[in-house]
Amino acid sequence: MILVTGTDTGVGKTFVTISLVKWLREQNRNVCAFKIVETGCLPICEDAQKISEACGKEIRPIYSFKAPVAPSVAADMGRTSISIERIKKEILAFSGEYEEVFFEGAGGLLVPITWEYTFLDLARELGMDVVIVALNKLGVINHTLLTVKACECEGVRVKCVILNTKEKFDESVETNYESLRKLLKIPVYLFSSLEDASNFAESLLD
């Protein structure tokens, strides 16, 4: 089980996730993806829809909310509650059907699913490996190192950092990749398109 997390919201987790799934499925690997909790479903859950298209089957989030806020906040606004036990049970059941599943979180590792429980807690308790998606722009070095450090402190294994390069936001785009490679002892991959997934997707199944 792999948790795909981000250094922030809007860094391209879904783009990376569906690219990995599409490429691996083209290689006849039995993989899929799953959005655990999705907020901002107005009127549809767009991330889950994209993941469903990549996996070739309808895959709905375990929980979905209209408000584009953290899951714990959205649950309060909707006057409902989120069951961590239900989430863990459904993740384990879904994982048993595939060679590997990429579970996409919401925002970053410390986003609260409930007020007492984060995505980092989920990764630790289920023994998930983590893939960190980071947006290639100024500030990414600090955000990435903090996310890696949080995993290390909780004994959660980070498989790699995927530096998502959408466009040239600023001058740091030219140096962030080499900087992160020097600062981290884990693999760092540049990513901008489906074709880039071929450089490292297979290694995530090891």
Average pLDDT, the chain: 94
Q: With contact defined as beta carbons under 8 Å apart, do 131 and 160 qualify?
A: yes
CATH number, span 2-205: 3.40.50.300
| Residue 155 in marked binding region | no
- Supply 49's token pair: 């829809």
Whole-model pTM? 0.94
Confidence (pLDDT) at 170 = 85
Quick one: which H or E segment has residue 38? strand 37-38
Assess whether 89 carries a catalytic annotation. no
- The alpha carbon of 20 is separated from its chain's Cα centroid by a whole number of angstroms, namely 11
Q: Is pLDDT of 131 > 90? A: yes
- Supply 53's token pair: 């298209």
Domains of the chain: which residue ranges? 2-205
What number of helices (H) and strands (E) belong to the chain? 7, 10
Q: Which of 35, 50, 89, 149 is catalytic?
A: 35
| Residue 100 in marked binding region | no
pLDDT in tens, 12-57: 999 999 999 999 999 999 999 999 999 999 889 999 999 999 999 9
